[in-house]
Amino acid sequence: MRQANLFDIGVDGASEPSTLPTAQADPPAFASVLVDIPTRALAEPFAYAVPSDMSGRVQVGCAVLVSFGNRPALGYVVALASSLAELPGTEGLKLSSVKPIRTILTDPLFSEESAELALWMSKEYVAAPAECLRLFLPPGASPRLKRDEDGTYRLERPTTREASARWVSLTDAGRAFEPPARATRQRQLVQALSAGPVTTRELNALYTDMSAAIRTLEKKGVVTVEERRAWRGVAHGESRLSSARAEVPEQLTEGQRSALEAIERARAAQAGDVVLIDGVTGSGKTEVYLSAIERVLASGRSACVLVPEISLTAQTVGRFRSRFGDAVAVFHSRLSAGERLDQWDMVRAGAARVVVGARSALFCPHRDLGIIIIDEEHEQSYKQGSAPRYHAREVAAKMARRYGCPLVLGSATPSAEALSRCRRGSYNGQRWERVEMRERPGGAVLPKIVVADLRREFAGGSRSMFSKPLYDALMGVVERREKAVLLHNRRGFAPFLMCRECGCVPTCKHCSTALTYHERTHTLECHTCGAVYHVQAYPSPASKCPSCGSPYLAKMGVGTQQVEDALLQILPKDVAVIRMDADSTRGKDGHAKLLEEFDAAECAVLLGTQMIAKGLDFPEVTLVGVVNADYALKMPDFRASERAYDLLEQVAGRAGRGERPGEVIIQTYLPHDPVIRAVASHDRSIFTDHDRQMRAEALYPPYVRLAHIVVSGRDRVLAERHARSLAAAVVDLFGREASAPAAVASLSVLEAPVVLGPAPCVIERAKDRFRFHLLVKCPVGYPVSEAISSVLAEVGEQRGLSVVVDIDPYDLM
């Protein structure tokens, strides 16, 4: 029972309850309370006394009301002890200065393990502990303390409530019951219940009104009506798509068997070992997850599967539900608040022992976790973009070690981080093992990849968006009445210049990332180190390619809408063109509806941004086209190549999943880029070897760890000055080496931290705030979080400025 009556009271800061702990109080008499004020300044929980009349009821996970300074505050109990000295961080604290807890507000909302993990996250990611702990609270179901305009505080009831349903079932006696011949309603009811209990709501929906019949038969003892907690959200993701089922295959492939063996070993070791399944798209990774989960469930434990939000589609969910039925809880961003809470409680109650969800599903109240699986391990969406900026893979690794369960990572294009840890065999005291799955079951052939060189098309006089090979292939699809997928990626797009004749993209001399073009000032700027280069772009007569001298050094950029228009012009009217981008998929299930439309069409082209690249499995797709691979390749970020490779591999994997062979056409001005060559020749090492060398030379992860600090404010001068002070403090802390990046950059191994910048961010202004950033590179194993925390503490806060710290950042814009 949540104690609802307490929420009606006003709360004032001064009054204290009368019962103070006595010397002989029963344990526990003291509590560590994390005050729910989200600021980095409150880095630790505070000690409070447990009044003797509360001591039986206070538990770890309870929300409590405490006095904090001269105001009331909401807090969460994260630890309990019978003496003050047993609580961490209480040395030198006088008993007389410890205040009592004022009120217990709720039953426990989270476990001791969750509290421990939240505090670890706050340290690791230099984040406010309160913000980390909030991840573990039941969604929408914890109280909040609000300050009214007159300065008084008011507790707010949780916004989301539980719902219940009335279930009707046949009694034992009822099974033998023969309704009178003319009682049609009663007949229908008995018939409907013969297969098991049904809710009154469903019965009423099915037979207009059943209430009278239910009442009559309840009186006769034929049926019983029982109020039970309703689990909203269970019907979600049920799909009519052809491939949403997961039949158990007759025989596992050799790769699948060795992956399962590795997982079994990791399970037996109980040390949080990590297994990376490095398997091409369609090699049967999902089947490995399903089999591994079956074994974990059989042993009585539970499973957590993380999937990128973007591939958390009806298809994916359907595969898990078809195997594990109602035991599956699902979390994605399209759930309503009530559905979210119910899925959460299903997990807490043990009614769901398999959780499938986006990164935050990690923080569910899992019971006895026996395996954590992260599909598409390399996906950027596992890194949270707002505070606390955690990475789900790293938190999952920590949890795996804590619970002694395996962490299984799956990817067709593993991250450089995961590959490097597997090469070393261990990381942070955990074993990392890689298992390869090269074959597709049933020997489905790899699609044929054609690279369309746009430079040559340009030289041949073509100004069309579609090269000759892509145009011809589209016409072939139309003729054979098949389906095609066209990718037009513009994720995190920053405008850049590219020579139409030789494909040259100007990059920074110091940072080897693409320069961003600023049309207004005719400059190319490096947003990592701040370097500025003056240029004239096409159509200025002074435009000149730095590499070949061509006058066609032009800005890159067309939207999906424009590609759609061009498609409609070349395709016959009876071919469905379905555009999928952020605009066309708004609203609940917008994404799924478009996919169903594509599934149902006879002959169609699906045109979309990166959101179409993942997880789709349509056997009729025989052509995949990439309108321009260069957008992905030339993002101003050291991970640009990795993401581009992943994207192209994924999208290529959409072709030829059925009987008919698939064809992939990649349009590019950069046919010799290692990413393009690797994809075209189905040889990943061409890309990974190159990428690894680039990262080692330019000192990027996994060879270093990064901390990214962004300072923003309305006052440009103030923001820049503060960024400089932070950079100076980093240099002070790390010593002189930090100030000489040029000298250090030539070393293959970083021996001391270095700082780059401050420089204006790629997105220089957002919401009227000027943004400056600095990038700190640390040797692997260096206590980077601790160091950044101490730099922040030393420089202090500045009114009107915000300082965002991102440890192991993915977004450097």
Q: Which residues bind ligand ADP (CB under 6 A)?
A: 249, 251-253, 256, 279, 281-287, 441-442
Ramachandran area for residue 153 (φ above 0: left; ψ -120 to 50: alpha; else beta): beta
According to CB under 5 A, which one of 510, 593, 692, 716 is a site residue for Zn ion? 510
User: What's the burial of 207, exposed, middle or buried (CB within 10 Å: 0-12/13-18/19+)?
Assistant: middle
> What is the x/- site pattern for Zn ion, positions 525-564, by CB under 5 A?
-x-xx-x-------------x-xx-x--------------
DSSP string of 570-600?
HS-TTSEEEEESTTTT-STTHHHHHHHHHHH
Q: What is the DSSP letter of 36?
A: S
**614 alpha-carbon distance from chain centroid:** 14
- By beta-carbon proximity to ligand ADP, the closer residue of 281 and 413 is 281
**Chain centroid offset of residue 228 CA:** 33
**Binding partner of residue 281 among Zn ion, ligand ADP, none, CB under 5 to 8 Å per kind?**
ligand ADP
Of positions 49, 217, 504, 805, contacts Zn ion by CB under 5 A: 504
Q: What is the smallest separation between the CB atom of 599 and ligand ADP, expressed in angstroms?
A: 15
Residue 370 C-beta: closest distance to ligand ADP, Å: 21
The site partner of 441 among Zn ion, ligand ADP, none (C-beta below 5 to 8 Å per kind) is: ligand ADP
- Pairwise CA distance, residues 575 & 483, whole Å: 9
Residue 287 interacting partner from ligand ADP, Zn ion, none (CB closer than 5 to 8 Å by kind): ligand ADP
Min separation Cβ 749 and Zn ion, Å: 21
Q: Which residues of 397-412 are buried (b: 16+ CB within 10 A; e: fewer)?
A: bbbbbebebbbbbbbb
Shorter beta-carbon distance to ligand ADP: residue 84 or 252:
252
Burial code (b: 16+ CB inside 10 Å, e: under 16) for 44-79 equals ebbbbbbbbebbeebebbbbbbbbbeebbbbbbbbb
Q: Which helix H or strand E contains 371, and what residues bound it? A: strand 369-375
From the CB of 282, what's the least distance to ligand ADP, in Å?
A: 4
Q: Select from Zn ion, ligand ADP, none the partner in contact with residue 688, using the beta carbon and a kind-dependent cut-off of 5 to 8 Å.
A: none
The candidate with the shortest Cα–Cα distance to 395, out of 121, 593, 585, is 121
Among residues 133, 126, 37, which one has the least CA distance to residue 805? 126
Nearer to Zn ion, 531 or 570 (CB): 531
User: What is the closest distance, in whole angstroms, from the C-beta atom of residue 9 to Zn ion in the complex?
Assistant: 58
Closest contact distance (angstroms) between CB of 239 and ligand ADP is 15
Query: How far is CA 569 from each of CA 327, 479, 564, 577, rounded to the nearest angstrom?
Result: 49, 16, 9, 11
Closer CB to ligand ADP, 259 or 726, in the complex = 259
The CB-of-543 to Zn ion minimum distance in angstroms stands at 10
Q: Which is nearer to ligand ADP, 84 or 310 (CB)?
A: 310
Question: What is the rounded radius of gyration, in angstroms, for the C-alpha atoms of the chain?
Answer: 30
State phi, psi for 259 to the nearest 5 degrees. -65, -45
**Which of these ranges, 47-55, 180-188, 192-200, 501-509, lies near Zn ion under the rule CB under 5 A?**
501-509
Rule CB under 5 A: choose which of 155, 330, 416, 499 binds Zn ion: 499
Nearer to ligand ADP, 252 or 576 (CB): 252
Q: In what order do the strands lie in the sheet with 223-229?
A: 198-199, 164-170, 223-229
Residue 545 binding partner per list Zn ion, ligand ADP, none, with a CB distance cut-off of 5 to 8 Å that depends on partner kind: Zn ion
Q: Could you say which of ligand ADP, Zn ion, none residue 285 binds, taking C-beta under 5 to 8 angstroms by partner kind? A: ligand ADP
286 binds, among ligand ADP, Zn ion, none (CB under 5 to 8 A by kind): ligand ADP
- To ligand ADP, the closest distance from the beta carbon of 447 in angstroms equals 14
For ligand ADP, give the closer residue by CB, 379 or 581.
379
Pairing mode of beta strands 621-626, 663-668: parallel
510 binds, among ligand ADP, Zn ion, none (CB under 5 to 8 A by kind): Zn ion
Q: How far is the CB of 595 from ligand ADP (least distance, A)?
A: 16
Asked whether position 508 contacts Zn ion by CB under 5 A, the answer is: yes
The DSSP output letter for 252 is -
Nearest residue (CB) to Zn ion, 529 versus 563: 529
Taking the complex as a whole, the smallest distance from the CB of residue 268 to ligand ADP amounts, in Å, to 24
Residue reference for tokens 């009054």? 15
The least CB distance from residue 558 to Zn ion, in Å, is 20
Q: Which of 276, 511, 575, 679 binds Zn ion (CB under 5 A)?
A: 511
Q: Which is nearer to ligand ADP, 467 or 650 (CB)?
A: 650
CA distance to 53, 66, 362, per residue, from 28 (Å):
11, 17, 30
CA distance 720 to 411: 40
Distance CA 280, CA 674 (A): 19
Q: How far is the CB of 247 from ligand ADP (least distance, A)?
A: 7
Q: How far is the CB of 260 from ligand ADP (least distance, A)?
A: 11
Query: What b/e readout covers 637-651, taking b as 16+ CB neighbours within 10 angstroms?
Result: bbbbbbbbbbbbbbb
Among Zn ion, ligand ADP, none, partner that 253 touches (CB below 5 to 8 angstroms by kind): ligand ADP
In the bound state with ligand ADP, the residue whose beta carbon lies nearer, of 261 and 794, is 261
79: which residues sit within 8 A by CB, 6+ positions away? Answer: 31, 32, 45, 60, 87, 88, 112, 115
**Token pair recorded at residue 799:** 């009114």
The Cα 208–Cα 223 span in angstroms is 19
Closer to ligand ADP by Cβ: residue 441 or 779? 441
Collapse the DSSP code of 190 into the 3-class scheme (helix H, G, I; strand E, B; otherwise coil) and give the result. helix
The option from ligand ADP, Zn ion, none interacting with 694 (CB < 5 to 8 A, set by class) reads none
Judged by beta carbon distances under 5 to 8 A according to partner kind, the member of ligand ADP, Zn ion, none in contact with residue 188 is none
Query: Which residues lie near Zn ion (CB under 5 A)?
Result: 499, 501-502, 504, 508, 510-511, 526, 528-529, 531, 545, 547-548, 550
